[in-house]
Amino acid sequence: MKVLVVGSGGREHALVWKIAQSPDLTALHVAPGSLAMAELAICHPETKANDLDGILALAEREEIDLVVVGPEDPLAAGLADRLRAAGIATFGPSAAAAQLEGSKAFAKDFMQRHEIPTAAYAVFEEQAAAHDYVDAMDRPCVVKADGLAAGKGVTMCADVAAAHAAIEEMMTARRFGDAGDRIVIEQWLQGEEASYYAITDGERILTLAAAQDHKRALDGDEGENTGGMGACSPAAVVSEAVEKKILERVVHPTIRGMAKEGHPYQGVLYVGLMIDAAGDPLVIEFNVRFGDPETQALMVRMEGDLLPILDASARGTIDEATAIGWGDAAVCVVLASGGYPRHYATGCEITGLEALANAHDSDAAKGSFVAEGSVSAEGSAAAAGSVVVFHAGTRECESGSGYETAGGRVLGITARGKTVAEARARAYSAVDRVSFEGMQFRRDIASRALGR
């Protein structure tokens, strides 16, 4: 099977890394890809993820059998529709279905129509009305840009003053551009967050493992919301009983509701959840693609072949797919540029990756290290305890040797272990080998899981 993955970040690197292990694969292409991904696939840096015409032309030229769309922007723009209209099997929802992520107001209204549990909310296009609303609430709330904002268009507001400031930043200063022209203000939910994944062909689903993202920039869930500073899987808060509630109250009603409204949902449904003290799930958000950095942890933990499942989703044959198996645990720690999620420098040389690649089992991490996303000798993520470095925002140094920073989130150091504690220790041991100017990361990834 000839496969084209669309995207260039850490999520796409993890998907490429896993797809590359499939015995069904005959050729793997990535557009635009990255230098790190070039070790695993043929990259097409001239074709950007949002270039719908270019992606279609590339898929036709290379006689691609399956396109796997990584980022949300091209999905919201209708890439899956364009490809399917040309007869190319595509993993990812239509533009109409992608509204679940593309518009938070759409998602909230959809949940209300289908009685899917979520926080109380109101939608505003006028600033004055929004300010009046938070004054009347007079309690902590969450202010969200309605449109796509790379996971960062959410502000947790502990008091009314913070809510007013968030409204101004989104609607007046336009920090998130057009995405903030309309905003959603909602109840601040209490509980523990989790990310739940299911792959669907529009009717049937195949469940994946749950994960736990760490959105805030600083330890202790302090600081601003980011695209994600780390993740672990499994998510201890998602017990068997909680998972049953998630499926019955959220996942199945969502898939049925989208089909009923004329927008059958194909691809991966990522549900961001708050699990309250009673173990009841409430939806924080929907995403219409794999999460980042949860995907890094999921791919390293996953056993078996991902490619046939992606293909079955695209072709409407999920019922024929084989369920995925899972290793015990995986943890991903994101290394970010100083100043992220706001202003940050790029072009900083990254050191330690070569040493990480050459580390051996006798080292402090007590695991085999696999650098830059290459496949281990065992051919999988495999060796329990291995560490994989996924590149999110890197490029080749000007000297032509090694990597330098090229984004806010730079690397995802991802480890697998027999327990979350073991995977976490291996990940942080590897983190301590890597450095670049201004490097920031959280030291408490997976701490909630350890505390349960």
64 neighbors 3 (Cβ within 8 angstroms)? yes
Q: What whole-number distance in Å separates Cα of residue 108 and Cα of residue 282?
A: 12
The answer to whether position 113 is within a domain reads no
Provide the strand spans (E) within 295-408.
302-303, 325-326, 329-336, 369-370, 387-391, 394-396, 403-405
As beta bridge partners, residue 336 has 409, 440
Pair (281, 337) in one structural domain:
no
Pair (286, 342) in one structural domain:
no
Q: What is the pLDDT of residue 364?
A: 35
The answer to whether position 114 is within a domain reads no
- Quickly tell me which residue has 């040389």 as its tokens: 349
Q: What's the number of domains the chain is made of? A: 4
Q: What is the pLDDT of residue 359?
A: 62
- Which amino acid, one-letter code, is at 392? A
Pair (302, 388) in one structural domain:
no
Residue 448 has pLDDT above 80, yes or no: yes
Q: Please provide the average confidence, as pLDDT, over all residues in the chain.
A: 92
Residue 121 has pLDDT above 80, yes or no: yes
Pair (177, 274) in one structural domain:
no
Reduced to 3 states (helix: H, G, I; strand: E, B; else coil), residue 425 is: helix
Pair (206, 272) in one structural domain:
yes
Strands 89-91 and 394-396: unpaired
Lowest mean pLDDT among 144-158, 224-238, 286-300: 144-158
Lowest mean pLDDT among 258-262, 331-335, 382-386: 382-386
257 neighbors 192 (Cβ within 8 angstroms)? no
Percent of the chain having pLDDT more than 70?
A: 93
47 neighbors 58 (Cβ within 8 angstroms)? yes
Q: What is the pLDDT of residue 361?
A: 39
Q: 123 to each of 107, 109, 163, 171, 183, how far by Cα in Å?
A: 11, 10, 14, 13, 6
151 neighbors 72 (Cβ within 8 angstroms)? no
Q: What is the pLDDT of residue 450?
A: 86
Q: What is the pLDDT of residue 294?
A: 97
Q: What is the pLDDT of residue 399?
A: 82
Residue 373 has pLDDT above 80, yes or no: no
Rounded to 10 deg, the angle between the 160-171 and 127-137 helix axes is 170
CATH code, domain carrying 125: 3.30.1490.20
CATH code, domain carrying 56: 3.40.50.20
Q: 87-110, pLDDT tens digit by residue? A: 999 999 999 999 999 999 999 999
Q: What whole-number distance in Å separates Cα of residue 284 and Cα of residue 39?
A: 37
Residue 14 has pLDDT above 60, yes or no: yes
Single out the residue of 137, 129, 199, 116 nearest to residue 171, CA to CA: 129
Pair (345, 441) in one structural domain:
yes
Contacts for 231 with CB less than 8 Å, ≥ 6 apart: 195, 211, 212, 213, 214, 291, 293, 294, 296, 297, 331, 332, 445
Q: What DSSP line would sit under 182-243, residue for residue?
A: SEEEEE---SEEEEEEEEEESS-EEE---BEE--EEEGGGEEEE-S-SEEEES-TT--HHHH
Pair (335, 271) in one structural domain:
no
Q: What whole-number distance in Å separates Cα of residue 299 and Cα of residue 11?
A: 9
Single out the residue of 439, 452, 385, 451 nearest to residue 411, CA to CA: 439
Residue 365 has pLDDT above 90, yes or no: no
Q: What is the pLDDT of residue 150?
A: 75
As beta bridge partners, residue 195 has 211, 272
Greater model confidence, 164 or 398: 164
Reduced to 3 states (helix: H, G, I; strand: E, B; else coil), residue 142 is: strand
Q: How confident is the model at residue 265 (pLDDT cuts 50, 70, 90)?
A: very high
Q: What is the pLDDT of residue 356?
A: 81
Pair (202, 161) in one structural domain:
no
Q: 320-359, pLDDT tens digit by residue? A: 888 889 989 999 999 999 999 999 999 999 999 988 876 6
Q: Is the peptide bond between 234 and the residue preceding it cis, with omega within 30 degrees of 0?
A: yes
Mean pLDDT of all residues in 120-143: 94
The answer to whether position 115 is within a domain reads no
Q: What is the pLDDT of residue 369?
A: 43
Q: C-alpha angle with apex 209: 315 to 120, nearest 5 degrees?
A: 95
How far is Cα of residue 263 from the mean position of the Cα atoms in its chain?
Answer: 23
Q: What is the pLDDT of residue 126?
A: 94
Pair (335, 317) in one structural domain:
no
The answer to whether position 69 is within a domain reads yes
The answer to whether position 37 is within a domain reads yes
The answer to whether position 23 is within a domain reads yes
The answer to whether position 109 is within a domain reads no
CATH code, domain carrying 407: 3.90.600.10
Pair (177, 205) in one structural domain:
no
Contacts for 204 with CB less than 8 Å, ≥ 6 apart: 318, 319
Pair (197, 319) in one structural domain:
yes
φ, ψ dihedrals at 291, nearest 5°: -80, 165
- The last residue of one of the domains, among 161, 187, 213, is 187
- The last residue of one of the domains, among 325, 359, 383, is 325
CATH code, domain carrying 315: 3.30.470.20
The parent domain of residue 368 ranges over: 328-450
The answer to whether position 105 is within a domain reads no
Pair (357, 384) in one structural domain:
yes
Q: What is the pLDDT of residue 255?
A: 98
Mean pLDDT of all residues in 197-215: 96
- The last residue of one of the domains, among 158, 187, 216, is 187
Q: 140-181, pLDDT tens digit by residue? A: 999 999 999 877 789 999 999 999 999 999 999 999 999 999
17 neighbors 25 (Cβ within 8 angstroms)? no
Residue 77 has pLDDT above 90, yes or no: yes
Residue 378 has pLDDT above 60, yes or no: no
